[in-house]
A = this chain, B = another copy of it.
Amino acid sequence: MNAEAMPFVPGLPISSVERETGLSKDTLRVWERRYGFPTPERDANGERLYAPTQVQRLTQIKRLMDRGYRPGKLLPLDDEALAALDEARPSVLVTRNVQQLDHWMHLVETHDSEALQRQFYREMAKRGLAGFVQDIVAPLITRVGEAWSRNELGIFEEHLFSQHLEKMFRTVLANMSPQQGSPRVLLTTLSGEEHTLGLLMVEALMVVEDVCPVLLGPQTPIDEIVRAAQLKQVDAVCLSFSSAYSPTLSAQGLRDLRQMLPADIELWAGGYGVKAIRKPIDGVCLMPEFQDLYDCLAKWQTEHGREPVSGGVTRLPETTK
């Protein structure tokens, strides 16, 4: 079989590679210049065409970078060395109920949709919503993210898992009326951060605390966040950041927003992504941990002299050893 008879795979243009890998065109070009990788072909017009195998390697490198490795170390490596890094277990994760989570992970790996859905509801009934979210859902999301970064799980499994969680949260939330309570809190993310699960978790926790969440969905531009906050007369705006969101952009966005938001509306930032923000930002409350959310709520209630309805903000249940 000669070359012309082969399935025609000329390679992907740089815009497709940007879409697939999440690496900006600028980065792709500067890597080529500095490290000599990737090495795309050129089409008749002199524009880059990336071979599929190189695109695959680029996504692998991106994964490892999200895990903390730096480009300078990764790009000179060959295939075997990269694969070896995938194996390495960095996990500083202090998981509690490890074996139970292992069981859940197995369900995710095998795409056992039905069992997953069924056991979600059972576990929620058992632990209560807050405990379920803190002890099961949040650690599970972290583990799924880690398994993905270790290449044990594909995006496909991760998406399927997210869909089931979203379905569950929305079903549960549909049956609760979140129309009164205080404080009123606007829930959304900045443009570019598309993860919705964090928002749903926070909404669930707030509803049982008699807080009134206003769910806007992800990706609201800052000037619209300001308008929404005023129109809906909220007491605070709560943004969620996943670990995928660049810390630089998070900090920049929070500063941009704080600049435009009226001073009497508080600004809270939660999620795994805020752990990466080192310096505190004036007028912004960073909540890297779940407990910080409860602390924020308690602080607001004492400052505004409202007697919490149900005898004070719930402390999270002590985690079982």
**Does A155 touch B at the CB level, under 8 Å?**
yes
Kindly list chain B residues whose C-beta atoms are within 8 Å of the C-beta of A16.
252-253, 256
Is A137 on the interface with B (CB-CB < 8 A)? no
Question: What residues on B are CB-neighbors of A163 within 8 Å?
Answer: 215-217
Do A15 and B194 touch (CB < 8 A)? no
The answer to whether the Cβ of A20 comes within 8 Å of any Cβ in the partner chain is: yes
Chain B residues lying within 8 Å of A159, measured Cβ to Cβ, are: 188, 216-217, 220, 224
- Render A152-183 as a binary contact track against B, CB cut-off 8 A, 1 for contact: 00111001101100110011011000010000
The stretch from A77-85, A225-233, A286-294 touching chain B is A225-233
A190 beta carbon closer than 8 Å to chain B: yes
**Is A223 in contact with chain B by the CB < 8 A criterion?**
yes
User: Is A194 a contact of B191 with CB atoms below 8 Å?
Assistant: no
Tallying the copies of this chain within the complex gives 2
Residues of B within 8 A of A167 (CB): 170, 173-174
Q: Is the CB of A7 within 8 A of B156?
A: no
Residue contact B19 to A192, C-beta cutoff 8 Å: yes
* Nearest CB of chain B from residue A178's CB, rounded to whole Å: 10
The contact string, 1 if C-beta is below 8 Å from chain B, for chain A 19-47, is: 11010000000000000000000000000
A222 adjacent to chain B (CB < 8 Å): yes
Interface string of A108-127 (1 = CB under 8 A from B): 00010010000000000000
